[in-house]
Amino acid sequence: MPASPAGASGPLVDEVTTAAYTVPTDAPEADGTLAWDSTTLVVVHVRSGTTTGLGYTYGAPVTAHVVDDQLSAVVVGRCALDVPAANEAMNRAVRNAGRPGLVAGALNEAMNRAVRNAGRPGLVAGALSAVDTALWDLKARLLELPLVRLLGAARPEVPVYGSGGFTTYDVRRQDHQLRGWVADQGIPRVKIKIAESWGTAESRDRRRIAQARHSIGEAAELYVDANGGYTRKQAIRLDSYLMEHQVTWFEEPVSSDDLTGLAQIRAATAVDVAAGEYGYTLPYFRQLLGAEAVDCVQADITRCGGLTVWLRVAALAQASGMEISGHCAPHLHAHAAAAVPNLRHLEWFHDHVRIENRLFHGTLDPTGGAVRPGTDGAPGHGLSLRDEEAEPYRVG
Ligand SMILES: [Mg+2]
């Protein structure tokens, strides 16, 4: 077993347990390249003595089995304080399972599209990330510190942006959602989905952008996310329209696998280009930055390898003069986000916010456009599962 530092001693990880909860959406949801009617939260608990840490990822229920079958035995018996050692051991243990690659082993193109979030590649990375974040929470709780204090704060608060605006929404629903963030909650930045039906409904995309600008007024920032649904030239041609409506963030105009295309779009447009939510390994982010593909790096703590790797991605970005933005799962990012100097913001994603508020105690209030993790003094990330609320959604 790869060891903790020589002579180190400390509390050991005694047990790893998993559960999966599938929660229906509150309305049909779709972006440019995927539609869904439910979202699965995969929860990992790691226990040391009487102290328990909680981590999670969003993905297929089978992610829980990956933790049970591939990762649990790697982590149990290790020192609970040496999270990077556990992360590295998990990373090595899943070489063939693999990270990335469990889903990729059984695909054709139809399946390839269907498993976008499952993910392709990424099932194993999601499992590893959930265990890693649970271990960081466990360590902070063992030391009776808010996670942000354990990491060390770089900022007092974390700016958030409201994210939703699904392509399935009609004018009224989109308007209601956007006004809710900007006018009711005082969040001065919002994002909508575009590239409906793989970019084939561009005239509706344009109308929805104009409607969004109308809903939020002139002062708030407006972002768009194509989820890889456009072609390169289509994305470049849209730039003048985005400028006309003061859109300042263009996320995944083309697939995040197309680093050359992202770089071409970035060079040809005035809007900031962002990508990185499908980064499952640290080297991916080096390639993304090396390709000059983005103006802001996105990384998802529930996919990229957990908090351990998310902080390294932030450092890579900083070394390239870039900011980082946290992708989805907002409550799992908040403490890490407060610990990096080059943070732009955190995605306050409608679907995940709804699930996290329903299933967890200890969620944060984004009123005014920022969250302040750790200020209540609760140890760890402060989240705990509301067992009775969660049970009806349990699928594994
Ligand atoms: Mg996105």
What are the distances in angstroms from CA 81 to CA 11, 91, 121, 313, 338? Answer: 7, 18, 29, 21, 21
Look at the block and give the residue holding tokens 């349990």.
394
pLDDT for 116: 58
Active site residues: 193, 327
pLDDT category of residue 2 using cuts at 50, 70 and 90: very low
Predicted confidence (pLDDT) at residue 5 exceeds the cutoff of 80: no
The full 3-state SS of 53-115, as one line of letters, equals: EEEEEECCCHHHHHHHHHHHHHHCCCECCCHHHHHHHHHHHCCCCCCCCCCHHHCCHHHHHHC
pLDDT for 96: 75
Question: How close is the Cα of 30 to the center of ligand 1, in Å?
Answer: 12
Distance CA 78, CA 80 (A): 6
The 3-state DSSP class for residue 8 equals coil
**Which of the pair, 208 or 5, is modelled with greater confidence?**
208
pLDDT for 122: 80
- Nearest by Cα to 348 from 180, 218, 159: 159
Question: How close is the Cα of 225 to the center of ligand 1, in Å?
Answer: 6
Contact present, 226 and 252 (Cβ < 8 Å): yes
The 3-state DSSP class for residue 39 equals strand
Question: How close is the Cα of 256 to the center of ligand 1, in Å?
Answer: 10
Contact present, 213 and 245 (Cβ < 8 Å): yes
The b-or-e profile of 69-107 (16+ CB within 10 A means b, else e) is: ebbbebbeebbbbbbebbbebbbebbeebebbbbbbeee
Question: How close is the Cα of 79 to the center of ligand 1, in Å?
Answer: 36
Task: Provide the mean pLDDT of the chain.
Answer: 93
**Which of the pair, 386 or 112, is modelled with greater confidence?**
386
- pTM of the entire predicted model: 0.93
pLDDT category of residue 103 using cuts at 50, 70 and 90: low
Q: What is the pLDDT of residues 159-202, one digit of tens each?
A: 999 999 999 999 999 999 999 999 999 999 999 999 999 999 99
pLDDT category of residue 396 using cuts at 50, 70 and 90: confident
pLDDT for 9: 76
Question: How close is the Cα of 327 to the center of ligand 1, in Å?
Answer: 7
Question: How close is the Cα of 320 to the center of ligand 1, in Å?
Answer: 22
Look at the block and give the residue holding tokens 């009617």.
37
Question: How close is the Cα of 152 to the center of ligand 1, in Å?
Answer: 28
pLDDT category of residue 313 using cuts at 50, 70 and 90: very high
What average pLDDT does the segment 340-366 reach? 98
Look at the block and give the residue holding tokens 């920032």.
221
Number of other residues whose CB lies within 10 A of the CB of residue 108 = 7
Distance CA 51, CA 69 (A): 23
pLDDT for 102: 53
Question: How close is the Cα of 105 to the center of ligand 1, in Å?
Answer: 25
Q: What is the pLDDT of residues 370-383, one digit of tens each?
A: 999 999 999 999 99
At position 227, the amino acid (one-letter code) is N
% of the chain surpassing 90 pLDDT: 90
Look at the block and give the residue holding tokens 């802001």.
296
pLDDT for 95: 80
Predicted confidence (pLDDT) at residue 366 exceeds the cutoff of 80: yes
Contact present, 326 and 371 (Cβ < 8 Å): no
Question: How close is the Cα of 251 to the center of ligand 1, in Å?
Answer: 6
Question: How close is the Cα of 300 to the center of ligand 1, in Å?
Answer: 10
Question: How close is the Cα of 58 to the center of ligand 1, in Å?
Answer: 14
Distance CA 20, CA 234 (A): 39
pLDDT for 1: 44
